[in-house]
Structures are given as C-alpha cells and as structure tokens.
Amino acid sequence: MADFDPLEAEVDTWMKQFAAIDDRPHGLPDPGALWVKAKLLQSQAAMERASRPITGIQIAAYLLVAGGWAALVTWKWSALSAWINSFTPSHIILGAAGAQTASSLSLTFVMALIALASVTVMLAFHTILAEE
Amino acid sequence: MTADGLILQAPFALQTATFRRTPKRPMDEAKFEAFYRKTAARIWSYIFRMTGNAATADDLLQKTFFRFLRSNPAIANEDHLRHYVFKTATNLVFDHFREIRRHHQHTVDVPVAFDHRHRDELRHDMMRAFAELKPQERALLWLAHVEGSSHEEIADAIGVKGKSVKVMLFRARKRLAGILTKRGLAPETRHG
C-alpha cells in the first residue's frame, strides 16, 4: 500500500471542522470538586481493602458459632427433646402424680450452652458496634 | 535534548524511560487543576463525538479523571499525561459501548438538539455521519486528525499493534469519505 493516502487531506479538513463545533451545553465540572471526590473514593477503596481480612474473620466466626450450636444440639438431642416434651400437658400431669419424667440435662451441657450463648451474644455486639 | 530533569547518554535514555529510577512525584491539586483546565474540554469533545450523548460524556469525563488520579500519575511531560488521559477515556468509551451491546441496544446515541442556532442542522448531519463509523474508527480518526497523535500513541490508546494503525486509518478515512459523499457532506459537495 502506498504511503500517500489521497483521502487524508479531505478527511483532515472535515475532522477539524467537526472538532471545531462548540456543542458543550454547560460548563465542565469543577476540578477542585473532582479532586476531593477522587481522594474520597481512594480512601474508601483503601478502607475496604483494609477491612477485607476482618470481614473474612467475622464470617469464619459466624460459621464456627453456627457449627457449635449444631454440634451441641446434635450431641444432646435426645435429652433436649425429652426436656421440651416435659412441658406438654400429659408430662406435667404425670409429674404431678409423682411418675418418673425425662432425665435432666447434664451440667456439662448447661455450661456448654452458657459458653456458646455468651460467644453468640459477643459476636452479635461486635457486629453491631462495628457497623456503628 | 533532555528528559525531564534528567540528562542521559543516548543508549541509556530508553532504558530509563522503562525503568524509572527517579521517585514518582504524585500530582498535587494545583498541578491537576492546571492540567485539567488544559485538557478537559478536549477530552469532553472527544467523548461526546464518540458517544453522541452529552450526559454520557459528562459521566465518562468524570470517570476518566477519577481513574487518572487513582493511578497516581507521576509528573512527566504534558504530552505523556495527555496521551494517558486519552487512553483512559478511550477505554471507558469502549466499555460503555460493550455495556450497551450487552443490553441489546443497537442504536448509537445521537444528540438531541439543545440549541436552535442556524448551524444546528449541519452539526446534526456531521454527528450522524460520524456516528455511522464503528467506535474504533471514530477513535482512530479523532486521535489522528484532531489530537495529532502518533501511530504508536493511537495503537496504545485503542489497544492494537502499532503496525496495524496505518492500514486501519486508511480504511477508516475511506469509510468516512464514502459516508460524507453519500450524505452530501464532503467538502467539495457541500461547497460545490
């Protein structure tokens, strides 16, 4: 292909005429405002990057606590269901009549329950306070 | 001939252009404002001609300068910075068109008249003619003929090989000339 493009001059003239048309309907954004907004966006992005590991740890904590509750309930399911059933009218009547009802929950279970409940509450408070 | 504040022997000049040992001095607000006042109008015109919509041009202009500032540009010569900003603007415009295609919009925006001056019709005709070109062709012609960019700068801005630009420009000019002739906007037909 030849180096010389016969259309170059014609297109150049037209493009320059086209570019010379002033068709901006209003002024340009203020550079000071752009600068401030750009810096704000940059610090926002930096904060998000910094908080990503914390968010990851939070999610892991939620999963651990949920897993803890699931394990606790599974471990003592029979005792728990018996304890819940003890509140039914028939069991109350039997209990009042002196009949043997469900066995009580062990101290270990109660302590595990208290510990897990405390962790859950602490995690919930941490999330609320972090949001604020 | 010196690079900015740096006097080098010829064989080493290219090396330093690639491996900049001088620490980056980020742009401060005053320098940004000066650079902005020199280039923003041209960038806006470029984006407007590419997209055909003033609101889109406003939006993409802001995004261009946000990206520019986020990249923490080092103070180099203004031509280098101007080229970088045009490259950023071009990428954003191409992203904009990809987004439009994704939403199955096949028509290119053509500006609604916002003034009633007598040359409005000519402006519309010129915009419509330009809008018939593909986005890449528009970018090529604008950067070459309006901004006076070199083939290497154009290649970098639109993401093609340097050697392809000459052929692409040749084809783009041919296409535009055909469109102008068809619409009666070619310089000879308009004034003849």
Short-list A72, A70, A68, CA closest to A119: A68
More confident residue, A11 or A92: A11
Q: Do B186 and A38 touch (CB under 8 A)?
A: no
Give per-residue pLDDT as tens, A95-124.
777 665 555 667 888 888 888 899 889 888
The distance of A46 to chain B (nearest Cα, Å) reads 11
Query: Which pLDDT band, with edges at 50, 70 and 90, does A3 fall under?
Result: low
What is the reported pLDDT for B16?
Answer: 42
B180–A contact, CB cutoff 8 A: yes
What's residue B48's pLDDT? 93
Interface probe, candidates A18, A40, A48, A49, chain B, greatest B C-beta count within 10 A: A18
If 0-12 CB within 10 Å is exposed, 13-18 middle and 19+ buried, where does residue B188 land? exposed
A12 pLDDT above the threshold of 60: yes
Instruction: List CB contacts (< 8 A) between A10 and chain B.
Output: 177, 186-187
ipTM of the complex: 0.75
What residue in B sits closest to A8 (Cα-Cα)? Answer: B173
pLDDT at B7 (0 to 100): 44
Do A31 and B49 count as a contact with CB atoms less than 8 A apart? no
Residue B186: list chain A partners with CB under 8 A.
10, 14
Nearest-angstrom CA–CA distance, A120 and A114 = 10
Tell me which residue in B44, B69, B126 faces A28 most closely, judged by beta carbons. Answer: B44
The residue-averaged pLDDT of A5-32 equals: 88
From chain B, pick out residues whose CB is under 8 angstroms from the CB of A1: 166-167, 170
Find chain A residues with C-beta within 8 A of B40's C-beta: 28-29, 31
Instruction: For residue B111, list chain A residues with Cβ-Cβ distance below 8 A.
Output: 23
- Gap between the Cα atoms of A4 and B170, Å rounded: 10
Name the more confident of B95 and A3.
Answer: B95
Residue of chain B whose Cα is closest to the Cα of A44 = B70
Token code pair at residue B34: 């000066």
Residue B39: CB partners within 8 Å, gap ≥ 6?
B81, B82, B85
Cα B142 to Cα B44: distance, rounded to the nearest angstrom: 12
Burial of B98 (0-12, 13-18, 19+ CB in 10 A): exposed
Q: How far is A51 from chain B (nearest CA, A)?
A: 20
The first and second tokens of residue B39, run together, are: 């280039």
Nearest to B33 among A14, A31, A41 (CB): A31
Selecting from A28, A35, A37 the residue whose C-beta is nearest the C-beta of B41 gives A28
- What type of residue sits at position A10? E
What's the average model confidence in pLDDT over A52-60?
A: 86
Q: Mark yes or no for CB contact B40/A31 under 8 Å.
A: yes
Give the nearest partner residue to A24 out of B44, B173, B174, using CB atoms.
B44
CB contact under 8 A, B29 and A37: no
Higher model confidence: residue B116 or residue A91? A91
Please give the pLDDT value at position B106: 55
* Tens digit of each residue's pLDDT (9 = 90 or more) over A19-48: 998 777 778 899 999 999 998 988 888 888
Percentage of chain A modeled with pLDDT above 70: 89
- The pLDDT value given to residue B72: 75
pLDDT of residue B105: 58
Chunked mean pLDDT (size 10), chain B, 192 residues: 44 44 68 92 94 92 93 76 94 93 63 47 85 95 95 94 94 94 71 41
